[in-house]
Structure 1
Amino acid sequence: MEPMITDSHCHLDFPQFEGELPDLLSRANAAGVHRMVTICTKLRQTPTVRALADAHAPVFWAAGTHPMSAADEPMATVEQLVDLARHPKMVGIGETGLDYHYTADSKAVQQESLRIHIEACRQTGLPLIIHSRDADDDMARILTEEHRAGPYTCVMHCFSSGPALAKAALDLGFYLSMSGIAAFPRSQEVRDIFAGAPLDRVLVETDAPYLAPPPHRGKRNEPSFVAHAARKGADVFGIDYADFAAATEANFERLFSKAASWTDDAAATP
């Protein structure tokens, strides 16, 4: 039996998985991946993502507007996000955040959207799911400002930013999520950042269908591959894989407490 583990961030509604979900879930189960959170990146796609969670017990979901889409999609409202959060398997707000790599021209819109998502987290008690790329200074500043204005919980999804943003996030009590990037040969700085983080603040994820870890580098990623990222995490922390898997499970259930408390006979959608 493989140790149980959770893929805390994937995109099962993306076309790369069309028609393959039963087989994908079977492979995940064989690898010990008993639970996954599929992320809606555009709110107009929530019916599709929600239906995946309704149809499959291991699948939970989160919703938000991805920062790269913030200028092209209708601005989310706090009320809209709070309403979506009433669904019993909707367990996080996002992914939201800042991405200045390709979309720096929409900085102001991204920042406005991020602050809206943070307020929805305060009102629902659900964790914020952050995407951050080439925006470390603004990200640290906004997360800190908003936390002073009112606390909330957060995970830095697919963390591959610099040590200053990692420190800012950890100082706020947030979590860092380790993806297949940590297993890439040239990712020593990322591994060093995780090695310096408290073990009780680390999650694992695939970001599938992207960022497949070795030995699947360059191929489509999927939730079963989170075990490869987690094995690299065990190496980084110098502990047995089973112990690392157990630690990340406890961390996930602490942060995503709504997923932890869900049962098959949970109430139907309001």
Structure 2
Amino acid sequence: MDLENSGPTARVAVAGLGSIGAKVVRELDRGIEGLVLAAVASQNPDKHRAWLGGLTTKPAVLPIEALAEAADIVVECAPGKLVRSIVAPVVSRGKTAIVLSVGALLENEDLIVLARENGGQIVVPTGALIGLDAVTAAAVGTIHSVRMVTRKPVEGLVGAPHLADNNIDIAGIAEPLRVFEGTARQAAKGFPANLNVAVALSLAGIGPDRTRVEIWADPTITRNTHRIEVDSDSARFSMSIENIPSENPKTGLITALSVIACLRKQRASLRIGT
């Protein structure tokens, strides 16, 4: 996937300066081949002015709606409810949006059509999963089934809408408890801050309505764990990853690193992976 550019250097903007966005901004400031940090947006800009002011390249601090004009690539690191307002102006200009809140795409599928009609692109980084290249390759043939089992520390699931809607109390559990079993689409709706990985997996493979997901609240672990099992006409494989949580317990530390890796690949002299 080659991102949109305008000449030898592409301008990058970051929407959202939480644990992921801040890491991406700092890495861009340190330098990524062929890219330059142009702008950022935050719901609370004053909170971040001090450290932003200390960057070597001070980005413009803009409202979300202005990012599409200021950059060639916009990285979305914001709450899912803001995905449309970030992505639509970008892809309608034929530019590239890197989207982390993948679950929101299921409620805004017309954004993909908008990108196609205007020559834009929506890029979904690998994020907290492994093996999306293998799933994407298998999908060129026929995938029979995809199943993902997610286990998270209790604090990483507290507050999820599915738990509230079904009166599931996990605060005092002493052993692992399965709190959800269903499709990736249902998982994304019930756990919007937790299950972007399930949606990314489903979009790489057989879609959100055929990808099966289990979610466990597990007080015995400290890492977010995902196990994926795929059966296809070209290969049968399983993958497992244990992610160290970031400052936000709902998000793995590797998610930010995945975005940075995605950005590095765009202008690198050597690219590894599909």
TM range (shorter): 0.3 to 0.5
Structure with more helix by fraction: 1
- Structure number with greater Rg is 2
TM-score computed with the length of structure 2 as normaliser: 0.36
More strand by share: 2
Q: TM-score, normalised by structure 1?
A: 0.36
